[in-house]
Chain A
Amino acid sequence: MHLYVLRRLLYTIPIIVGVTLVCFSFIHLAPGDPISAVLPENASAAVVAEIRKAYGFDKPLPVQYLIWLGNVVSGDFGTSIMTRRPVASEVAPAVANTALLAFSAISLSFILGIVLGLSAGFSDRRVTDRSVTAIAVTGISIPHYWLGMVLVVVFAVLLRALPATGMGPSGIDILHFGLEDLRHLVLPAITLSMIPTGIIARSVRAMVAEVRRQEFVQTLKGKGLRRGRIFLHIIKNAAPPILAIMGLQFAQLLGGSILVETVFAWPGTGFLLNSAITTRDLPLLQGTVIVLATFFVMTNLLVDIVQTFLDPRVRRA
Chain B
Amino acid sequence: MNAVTDGAAIAPEPAARVAAPSRIRPRTGGFWRRMGRHVLRDKVALICAIVLLAIALAALFAPWIAPADPYKTSMLRRLRPPLSPGNFLGTDELGRDMLSRLLFGGRVSLAMGLTPVILATMLGGALGVMAGYFGRGINMAIMRVVDIFYAFPSVLLAVAMAGVLGAGIGNSLLSLTLVFIPPITRVAESVTTQVRNQEYVEAARATGAGPFRIIIQHVLANVTGPILTYASSLVSVAIIISSGLSFLGLGAAPPIADWGLMLNTLRQAIYVAPINAVLPGVMIFAASVSFNLLSDSMRTAMDVRA
Contact = CB atoms under 8 A, between A and B. Distances in A.
Interface in A129-152: 137-138, 140-147, 149-150, 152
B61 interface: no
A22 to B, nearest CB: 7
A182 B190 CA distance: 45
B154 A145 contact: no
A206 interface: yes
Contact of B1 (A144, A244, A282, A289): A244
A199 B6 CA distance: 13
Nearest to B167: A277
A29 interface: yes
Contact of B2 (A18, A282, A285, A316): A316
B10 A252 contact: yes
Contact of B156 (A140, A144, A198, A255): A255
Contacts of A245: 6, 9
B42 interface: no
A66 interface: no
Contact of A137 (B10, B277, B296): B296
Interface size, A (range)? 35 or more
Interface string A191-221: 0000000110011001000000000000000
Interface stretch (A41-49, A75-83, A168-176, A290-298): A290-298
A159 interface: no
Contacts of A285: 160, 163-164
Given A26-B160, A30-B165, A153-B270, A142 B285 contact: yes
A144 B284 CA distance: 11
Contacts of A109: none
Interface of A: 14-16, 18-19, 21-22, 26, 29-31, 137-138, 140-147, 149-150, 152-153, 157, 198-199, 202-203, 206, 240-241, 244-245, 248-249, 251-252, 254-256, 258-259, 262, 273-274, 276-278, 282, 285, 289, 292-293, 296-297, 300, 303-304, 307, 314, 316
Interface of B: 1-3, 5-6, 9-10, 12-14, 144-145, 147-149, 151-156, 159-160, 163-166, 236, 240, 243-244, 247-250, 263, 267, 270-271, 274, 277-278, 280-281, 284-285, 288-289, 291-293, 296
Given A15-B148, A153-B277, A293-B153, 4 more contacts: A30-B165, A244-B6, A297-B151, A314-B1
